[in-house]
Structure 1
Amino acid sequence: MPQTVVITGASAGIGRATARLYGKRGADVVLLARGRAGLDVAAKEIEALGGRALVQVTDTADAGQVEAAADAAEQAFGPIDVWINCAFTSVFAPFDEITADEYERVTKVTYLGFVNGTRAALKRMLPRDRGTIVQVGSALGERAIPLQSAYCGAKHAINGFTSSLRTELLHRGSNVHVTVAQMPAVNTPQFSWVRSRLPKHPQPVPPIYQPEVAARGVVHAADHPRRKQYYIGASTLATILANRLVPALLDRYLARTGFDSQQTDLKPPSGESNLFEPVDRPEGTDHGAHGVFDDSAHARSFEATLARHPAAVASALALGAGAAATAGAALRRRVRAGAA
């Protein structure tokens, strides 16, 4: 029997790349997002790859819409095996330049959207005592950076919410699993449609990875959900370890470098953002999985490959700890040089 997989944020970026992988498996894939154009093309891709697809235009910030999509998924394909929460939105700006309405919207989509998706999945999985939920997280959920306070706050909230839920499932002795795939910087279309008040075009903090790297990590996490979380990309692991070892130095380093490293020399994106409405609504444009950084994005991740082989993880963590210690020493030198 094919798996039934629900993916939020499936019209572009990591969600879109993940949907393609499940299509190659012949899975039944339920695609949730606000943008009809991207969803329709994604559905055609899945069917061409050998799977079946169901499109559900859904705003994950609306619990009722998410519940209705879950109902439609099971009516079409049967019990949901895997639910992947991936939908998000953001605003690139200093905190005091983000309005209350904008902050609330980012939080509703990027945090409460995950809560709504998890609730809908658990409603169906708990009575059957089986199923897997994958939260697509971020290194920024453990190490915040400037200019993305709303997004970082939401990703931190996802980690806390998921840890609490995991302990509840353990208390019940439930066979429903929940895990987090923590992402690095990824080349997705969000940087061209995000609401931004930066003088230049926003970019992910290098090193940048292609969405396919992230998608392989998500699928692996869904296949092996007993681990609490997965770190996708060496930069994710190094960032988290450095934050645990030298957090104050990292604060000072990001204060000096975090503004410039999130901007390119490209012209700022023009047109509407996707904060309150999908960007493909007026023109019927499909944005695909990739953003505008193909020339600088990595198609492979050594650390992500190691993570798919448990025997090598201990070695990877040891290497990562050494790298974090080295990074800490380098940070000290840079901060001292900046103060001189």
Structure 2
Amino acid sequence: MSLHGKVVVVTGASGGVGRAVARRLGAEGAKVALIARGEAGLAGASVDVGVEGGVAKVYEVDVADYDRVRQAAQQIEVELGPIDVWINVAFTTVFAPFMKISPEEFERVTRVTYLGYVWGTRAALELMRPRDRGVIVQAGSALAHRSIPLQSAYCGAKHAIKGFTEALRTELLADDSGVRITMVQLPALNTPQFDWGLTRMRRHAQPVPPIYQPEVAAEALVFAAEHPERKEYWVGGSTAATILGQRIAPALLDRYLARTGVRSQLVDGKPPSGVSNLWEPADTDRDYGAHGGFDERSHPRSVQTWLSRHRRLVTTGAAGLATAAALALWSAAKRLP
């Protein structure tokens, strides 16, 4: 499905992955509805979409509020037309050991990062199901399969999104619905999450290396919107390794992360930024953009993502090579005395 001229909703569009997705959709010629809280970030995202060749409308909404999300969806249909694709990206987090996160903070992360996806999905389905068409894309994480220390609230939400999405997919299939839903599991990314996430640590937070640029995630999410027949896409070699490692040796990963998980998420010699977007948007007066502070250490592309997108071609090629090797061995065996 080409997204040119299509109406696409992006939550969390003011910064990070959502911002990169919005820019990519602009280049596709889509009509992009930008949902987030931060005024400066939303304004910057709107400019990005227009510069790339798309059309953008801004909706200042907290995704934790279902009524506001539903109202925004209805307004989008009036102003831009029927929604073709809904991409859930918005989240917030707290970097801290579980017992240093207050109940109110944990609930807030859950309401935004998990229920924000549920409310966005519900608002989209209310409009898509009567038309029997549409695509919903969930921006996931390798942490939806394998949790790590200091991110209990975020990991719990990502696991919940995966479970919710799988349940909903079976319901849509049971109804023979034309609405499709897919999930894209992402790696560690260089986004402002590590500049504006609330932290209780004494050192600045960082993504667990290897780190990828948000454009890698944006490319995969847009591809998933165009090809929603797959239930799940994996982005980055680290995501594939994490998911497969969890399937094969979860207890070994427990011990490894207990030893290295905290240290790998902290920057030596750099204090926290002191900024937090948990309760209020951090990008009201400042536009953070798509990238965080780790450009020099981040990969602009992923070979594994290409393999995931072209799985059928790769499988066919591997089968062809295996057949050729078998024929060569058989031919060589025939020549033996």
Using the size of structure 2 for normalisation, the TM-score is 0.91
Q: Is the 8 A contact 1:7 1:83 kept in 2?
A: yes
CA apart distance, 1:110: 0.3
Within 5 Å, give how 1:9-88 maps onto structure 2: 9-88=12-91
Q: Is the 8 A contact 1:7 1:15 kept in 2?
A: yes
Structure 1 unaligned segments of length 5 or more: list them: 319-340
Amino acid in the other structure paired with 1:291: G
Structure 1 residue 201 corresponds to structure 2 residue 201: no
Structure 1 residue 226 corresponds to structure 2 residue 229: yes
Q: How many equivalent residue pairs?
A: 316
| Higher mean C-alpha deviation, range 131-140 or range 257-266 | 257-266
Q: Is the 8 A contact 2:204 2:267 kept in 1?
A: yes
Task: Tell me: CA distance 1:170–1:50, structure 2 relative to 1, closer, same or farther (3 Å).
Answer: same
Q: Is the 8 A contact 1:5 1:84 kept in 2?
A: yes
Amino acid in the other structure paired with 2:304: E
CA apart distance, 1:11: 0.4
Structure 1 runs of 4+ off > 6 angstroms?
A: 315-318
Task: Specify the alignment match of 2:183 in structure 1.
Answer: 180
Report the secondary structure of 1:177's partner residue: strand
Identical pairs, percent: 60
Task: Specify the alignment match of 2:327 in structure 1.
Answer: none
Report the secondary structure of 1:69's partner residue: helix
Q: Is the 8 A contact 1:63 1:116 kept in 2?
A: yes
Task: Specify the alignment match of 1:8 in structure 2.
Answer: 11
1:154 corresponds, among 154, 157, 165, to: 157
1:170 corresponds, among 173, 191, 204, to: 173
In the aligned structure 2, how far is the partner of 1:11 from the partner of 1:96?
Answer: 31
Answer with 1 or 2: which has the greater Rg.
2
Structure 1 residue 115 corresponds to structure 2 residue 112: no
Q: Is the 8 A contact 1:303 1:316 kept in 2?
A: no
Q: Is the 8 A contact 2:33 2:76 kept in 1?
A: yes
Structure 1 residue 296 corresponds to structure 2 residue 275: no
Q: Considering only aligned residues, what root-mean-square deviation do their CA atoms show, in Å?
A: 1.5
Task: Tell me: CA distance 1:266–1:45, structure 2 relative to 1, closer, same or farther (3 Å).
Answer: farther
In the aligned structure 1, how far is the partner of 2:28 from the partner of 2:165?
Answer: 28
Task: Tell me: CA distance 1:316–1:236, structure 2 relative to 1, closer, same or farther (3 Å).
Answer: farther
Using the size of structure 1 for normalisation, the TM-score is 0.91
Report the secondary structure of 1:5's partner residue: strand
Q: Is the 8 A contact 1:193 1:269 kept in 2?
A: no
In the aligned structure 2, how far is the partner of 1:317 from the partner of 1:133?
Answer: 32
Task: Specify the alignment match of 2:329 in structure 1.
Answer: none
Task: Specify the alignment match of 1:330 in structure 2.
Answer: none
CA apart distance, 1:163: 0.3
In the aligned structure 1, how far is the partner of 2:316 from the partner of 2:267?
Answer: 35
Structure 2 unaligned segments of length 5 or more: list them: 320-337
| Higher mean C-alpha deviation, range 252-261 or range 302-311 | 302-311
In the aligned structure 1, how far is the partner of 2:102 from the partner of 2:118?
Answer: 23
